[in-house]
Amino acid sequence: MATEKQIAANRANALRSTGPKTAAGRARSGRNAFRHGLSLPMEMDLDVSAKIRALVAALAGNNPDDDRQLAVTEIVRAQLELLRIRKVRAQMLAAGDLESGDPKALQRILALDRYERFAQTRRRQASHKL
């Protein structure tokens, strides 16, 4: 159980941890998701949605088992997500000048690892369901 002093300290910390306050800070943090587009779901693209349905039909067949169909769908989505992440990484590596040693460019490339690990985890968990 938290003491009154701890509760007061938590509330004071929460007041200071509410994100950017200035218009410039808000604008900067608002652009974070637009760097590479990986935070958007793939299903927004009609071509990708059609590709997902075609791959699921090919892999799962006409099996009436809904659990298998769902697991195959999750595997296909995760695999396509991995391919999308790797394509973005290749584009960033091709466009960036790694010889110059720009730390911001390297950080952006390394930030893709989080997306890749998440997609790999989703694919692995779905494959365990099969």
Residue at 80 is within a domain: yes
Average model confidence (pLDDT) across the chain: 82
Q: In terms of residue numbers, what domain contains 50?
A: 44-130
Percent over 70 (pLDDT), the chain? 82
Per-residue pLDDT band for 32 (boundaries 50, 70, 90) equals low
Residue at 1 is within a domain: no
Residue at 113 is within a domain: yes
Residue at 77 is within a domain: yes
Residue at 12 is within a domain: no
Residue at 51 is within a domain: yes
Out of 26-30, 41-45, 77-81, 95-99, the most confident range is: 77-81
Note the pLDDT of residue 82.
92
Residue at 123 is within a domain: yes
**Residue 117 CA: distances (Å) to CA of 39, 42, 107, 120, 123:** 14, 17, 16, 5, 10
Residue at 106 is within a domain: yes
Note the pLDDT of residue 101.
72
pLDDT digits (tens, 9 = 90+) for 57-115: 888 777 667 888 888 889 998 999 999 889 888 888 887 666 677 777 778 788 888 88
**Residue 38 CA: distances (Å) to CA of 32, 76, 127:** 11, 17, 23
Structure tokens at 130: 């099969």
Structure tokens at 50: 């059609």
pTM recorded for the entire structure: 0.64
Percent over 90 (pLDDT), the chain? 17
* Amino acid occupying residue 73: T
Compute the distance between CA of residue 9 and CA of residue 16 in angstroms, rounded to an integer.
11
Q: How many independent structural domains does the chain possess?
A: 1
